[in-house]
Every structure is written in C-alpha cells, then in structure tokens.
Structure 1
C-alpha cells in the first residue's frame, strides 16, 4: 500500500515544458516521488502527443506512459498572454516552487529572462549537443561507437539499438541535477541554470565504462560479440521447447554454480588441464567462450525452458528467460498494474521501482488527458477566477475544459 513514506517530494512543484523522452521521463520520475509536476503543452498537444505506439482507440501509449501522475496544462504558446501565463507558473512564489525542466530553447523561457522575475529560479535545460545543435537518442548513439559493436559477429554494418537508453539516462540525470540544485538553494538561497546535453550523457556513459580508454590504449576497436558477454562468460542457449535463456557467469562462484547445475564439473576440469586455462578467472572463460558454449549447449537442448529454469535456480545460477513484450506484460510482476487510462481503457502500467521501507512503492497513476488540469492549475497557482478562465478560454489562450 502506498503511503506518504514513498512520496518524499510531496509539496514540490515542477513546471515541465519538454517533449519526447528525456525531459518527460525525468518529470515522470519526480511525479512518482510525489512532486506536483505540471506539464505545459501547446493547445492540441506537442509533437510527441501522437507518438507511436498507439492504442486501438488512437491515443498515444507512449505519451501516456511518460506522463503518468502529472497535471496537464495547455496554452497558446504563440500568444503573449499565453506566454505570460506560463512565465507566471514557472516563477510563482514559494520555497518548493520556481523549478523549470524544459527542452524547448524558446527565448522567452530562457534562464536570463525568467530569473528577472524570480532570481532563485532553478532551470534545467535539456539540449541535443552542448553547442546547441539538435540531436535525438538515435543520432547521438550513432556517434558513441556502440552500434559498431552491436549485432551478430558476421554483421559488418552498425546496428542501432531499439531502447532509447541515452534519453532515459538523460532524464534520470536531469532529476539528479534538479534535486542537487534544490538542495543548494535551500542551503544558500541561490538558484541557477543547469544545461544538460543528451550527447554529453551518452559520451560520458561510454567513457565511464572504460570503453573509450580501451580503444585508446589498445589502438583498435572492439569486435562485435553477438550475444556473448564481453570480458566474461555469458551467452544465450536454446531449450528443447524452442525457447531461449541467457546465462551469465561473472564470478568464480557463478561459474561453479553453472557447472554444478549442468553436471559439467569434470569435463571442464579436464579442459582446463588440457588448455592450461583457469575457468575460475573471467578472462579465461571469455577467451575460451567458443569452446565452453558447445559443451553446455546439449544440457539446455535436452530440457524445456521451465525444466532448465528450475535446475538453474536450484543451483543459484545467474540466468534469465527471453520474453516478448506480450509475455513480459502478462508475467505478473508486482511492479506492473492495470491502470484505467482516460480515453484508452485498462492498460499495463509501471509504478515507481523505488521501494521505501515501511511504505512499499508508489503504484502507477494514470496520465492526464491533454489539458485536463489547465483551469485547476491556473486557479490554484495563479489565483485566476472563473471569470478570468472563461475569458481566456473564449479567447483561445488556454485549452482544457472548465471543471
């Protein structure tokens, strides 16, 4: 059951003017921690409002998934009065307000402009490249070197990834930056501008893993590994029923567990002696992976995935089954719950993966309909009256429906 213990950011207000993955995923993480995240879009929605995948009824499952638990405000961003409303929301007073997460690059939303209204403003701006050039996850990934080592060993062309990993890492880095800036403001009273480039997050991640240093010091690029784990033993195996499982041995104890489960201790002991190898060492397991794999393969081919899984679990082997999205959605993981999404119906949705002592984890919330909270937010935060809201609505300055 969700309690206040798993809403540590309750009372914090963040205005989000961002589209696609990086900014909205960061805002979603803050909302799942209890912050009041107000997403601002143009009337009719931003460029991601109809992004695939779509529900049968036509709504964007992508947009819904990344905007869970937020409040949605729609404004005519081209109108001076609409821009003034957004500016007022961002710079509204209060020790838990004055926080902006954006990736628009609009001049009227610049830090210098907004800080004149609220000097302690915390403004985190997400960019493509640090020099202002545009970028998305897939263009950034191409320049990291990762596609060059992705895919089957026989493939000579780069292979793109499906998961927008750099976007998601940028979103989490944005939340870290915002919370660090908030902590500093609480200590010193100072706000500030934080700029975060998607390309920098990607490059820093690759460098932090030692991959750039490896290429620099070795003087050569890493070859494709297929499904083999680089630097240790790990690869997928087919089972008798046509399923596949991924098995990994990163440590000596995990290697012993795999040998014990598959009954191959004596075979590998003899191989070690013949090859003058030590399979308790990850570099030898990696070096001889093409010899190790065919010894293990028959054990998996003789068993169903369920039978293999029971034996691997009993021996505490590090492994996991391959699943489709359909199978993952139906697996019964407690993180996933059915949420009634307005305009879509019941959908599989994820709550926060953080589990708090005594409070569990926050369950998933529905995403709002576009503009659903426009009147509510402008009334709550800016004190606009019903007459004010009616006038703005009739003039086409704000969207949403009056409650």
Structure 2
C-alpha cells in the first residue's frame, strides 16, 4: 500500500465536526490518527441525532481510518499518557475553547518543550485571542457573524444559513492545508510550530471576491431575486423551473449579447433583437421582465429535454438534484464518490469517498469509524504500558 502520509503520527484531541474533518483527511492518506476520547461518552458526536445503528451519524461520517483511545484528561495519569503520545507525535489537532488545554498542562508551550518538532494545530470559534475569544463557537454563529447568512438566500428572504456545516468543513480543510505546509517547513528547519484557524475566518474566506469588491468600493453585494444567481451575472443565469423540476443555466462566460443568445436558445428571436436589452447594463435594468419571459419558456418542457438541448448548444447547465438523484448520478458513481466501510456496531456503513484523486499515493479505506476506546489496549502497549492496563482501567484512567 503506497500511502502519502504513512508513518505520520497524529494525536487528535478534537471532536464533533471541524477537527475530525481535518484528521479524517490525514487518516485517509495513511497517517496514524489516535483519537483521544472521554471514557464513557466519547466524542460528543457519538450521541447526536440522527443515530445509525446506535451511533451518531455525524461521528460515523468523520472518523474512519482512526484509532480510539478512551482516557480521562482530568486524571494526572491520563494527562501523562497524552503527554507521552505527544512526545512521539508529528501533529496534534484540537478544537477546545481557547485556553482549556493550557489549563490542563497540554498547551502548545508545554508539549513543544518536550517535542520541538510538534505541529500543534488548533481550531477555535473566533480566534485564540481578541474580544470574542471566550465565546462558544458553532457553525451557525460563524455564518451569522461572518456575513454568510446575510449574503446567502434571495433578495426578499430573511438571513439564510447554508444548510450544512460549511464553517466547520472549511475550517477543517484549511487546518489540514496548514498542517501540510507546517510539515514542509519542518523539513527545512527541523522545528514544528503552532498553527490555527477559526470558524469565523473560514466563512470569510469563500467570500474573498465579494469582500474585496466591498473593501475597495464600499458597495455591498446585492442579494439576487428569488431563483436568480449572482446579480452581476444578469438575467440569463440562474435557476429556472421546468415542467417537472429545476435546472441551472448560465451564460456568464459567453461572448456577445447574452440576452440574444438566451432568446435564440428559447426560440424568442424578436425579443433578442430588442434594443432595450442590447447591453448588459440595459438587461440588468429590465431583469424582472426578462426573467419572467425566460421562465415562461422553460416551464414548457421537462428538465431532461432542456439539458439535452442546452448541452447540444454547448451551454453551461445542470439539473438541480435532490439526494436520491445524487446517489444514482452516473458521474458520481463513475467517480467512485460513494464508499462502504465497516460499522462499529456491526454491519456496513455507506458514506462518501475522499474527494482527492492521486495517481501515485491514493487514499485508502482501511477501517470504519472506531468503537469508543476500541484501540486503548493497543495504543497503551505501544507506549510500553501493557503491564499496567488492567490497573489503569480499574482506576478509570482509561476505558
């Protein structure tokens, strides 16, 4: 098995979503990820709803290819076990509230003193310092503070949050990038470093284009009308309702008059020749009336017919797919985007594959999500503590 990160040791003190997104990416490419969990309850996500076979679906989605060590961080010997693992680790990942691990004696300064090569990677809600440092952080809060909730949705909608934890996934992905950058730097310097990102910055980042425009013009981006797209794309791009569903069409990268092009596609040549729509600026002034005419034509035929016709014309388009259609989509199936692993409670678990494709060092599905403490004995034995495992378990240091 040729794994890009084989031999890399990750100590994972994170839970729920953002940290586990990062460490699963590393585990998929061969890193040995030791997940530290509370005895008895484990990662909070183990007990969230919905449940799949007695395990939280969120936990099952984000913890494959990892080993679980159940250890009590409030117990002095539990901390000693984590310190011993940190001395051997290349990377530590955590998403505690700022300052919590410092109070436990497991902060960056303490652990880096014993292991100068350690890359200590943190995710917080809003930053390790500053006025919001001690606030509880959560995805939807970051979406609100970072403008994503205001930016998302149609013109007349209330603030609308993205329906999946985009802040968590962005933060976890960014932290993974930071870790790999820090490991590259360590090859030159021999030293690790502390890196961090937060949920607030992670929702600002995909708004880079709009924020750049605003910061230099002080003109905020306009929310589109319902069913529309980004306002500067004009009336020829966005969501259109067909006879039996919805499709997205965009002419934003077409040359020439976009209105004329759309009218030709829809069989409205007279409308396309109307001088009132001759320029993008004029078309934007009459956005609503153009969208109404376009919508009337799209409603006459089913989605599939429109997609076939538009693709023949080499126009960018796609059907708006629900989950049942996604799961059967031929391109998604061809890409191998759906995988099956073992379930910690027995049986199988269907999930998504790692989205990266690498020709020489592909990702591997080695194991499903771990049972709580499922690798405690194995990991302690690697630390040379096998003789004392029964005693540690009896005194509830580990489980």
Distance 2:283 2:66 in 1: 48
Cα distance, 1:364 vs structure 2? 8.0
Q: How many residues align?
A: 380
Q: Which range moves more in the overlay, 254-263 or 390-399? A: 254-263
Q: Deviations over 1:127-149 (max 9, x none)?
A: 11222223212111111222223
Gap change, CA 1:153 and 1:364, over 3 Å in 2: farther
2:277–2:283: 8 Å Cα contact kept in structure 1?
Answer: no
Q: 3-state DSSP class of the match of 1:116?
A: helix
1:32–1:351: 8 Å Cα contact kept in structure 2?
Answer: no
Tell me the residue number matched to 2:118: 121
Aligned residue among 361, 374, 377 for 2:376: 374
Gap change, CA 1:253 and 1:350, over 3 Å in 2: farther
Distance 1:326 1:257 in 2: 36
Which residues in structure 2 correspond to 1:151-300 (within 5 Å)? 151-155=153-157, 157-206=158-207, 208-211=208-211, 213-214=213-214, 217-219=217-219, 222-230=222-230, 231-233=232-234, 234-241=237-244, 243-252=245-254, 259=262, 262-264=265-267, 266-267=269-270, 269-271=272-274, 273-277=275-279, 288-300=286-298
Gap change, CA 1:344 and 1:148, over 3 Å in 2: farther
Tell me the residue number matched to 1:72: 68
Distance 2:346 2:307 in 1: 36
Distance 1:68 1:285 in 2: 51
Distance 1:126 1:287 in 2: 44
Which residues in structure 2 correspond to 1:307-322 (within 5 Å)? 307-322=305-320
Output the TM-score relative to the length of structure 2: 0.86
Distance 1:219 1:324 in 2: 35
Q: Deviations over 1:301-339 (max 9, x none)?
A: 222222222223333322222222333234352211233
Tell me the residue number matched to 2:15: 19
Cα distance, 1:238 vs structure 2? 1.8
Gaps of 5+ in 2: none
Gap change, CA 1:111 and 1:360, over 3 Å in 2: closer
Distance 2:346 2:326 in 1: 20
Gaps of 5+ in 1: none
Q: CA RMSD of the aligned region, Å?
A: 2.7
Which residues in structure 2 correspond to 1:30-45 (within 5 Å)? 30-44=26-40, 45=42
Distance 2:283 2:397 in 1: 65
Q: Deviations over 1:352-391 (max 9, x none)?
A: 11112266664585211222111112223x1332x22222
1:258–1:315: 8 Å Cα contact kept in structure 2?
Answer: no
Cα distance, 1:202 vs structure 2? 2.6
Cα distance, 1:224 vs structure 2? 4.8
Q: Deviations over 1:76-103 (max 9, x none)?
A: 22111111111111112xxxx3310112
1:215–1:222: 8 Å Cα contact kept in structure 2?
Answer: no
Cα distance, 1:277 vs structure 2? 1.7
Distance 2:169 2:225 in 1: 25
Distance 1:183 1:342 in 2: 35
1:248–1:318: 8 Å Cα contact kept in structure 2?
Answer: yes
1:14–1:38: 8 Å Cα contact kept in structure 2?
Answer: yes
Q: 3-state DSSP class of the match of 1:73?
A: strand
Q: 3-state DSSP class of the match of 1:133?
A: coil
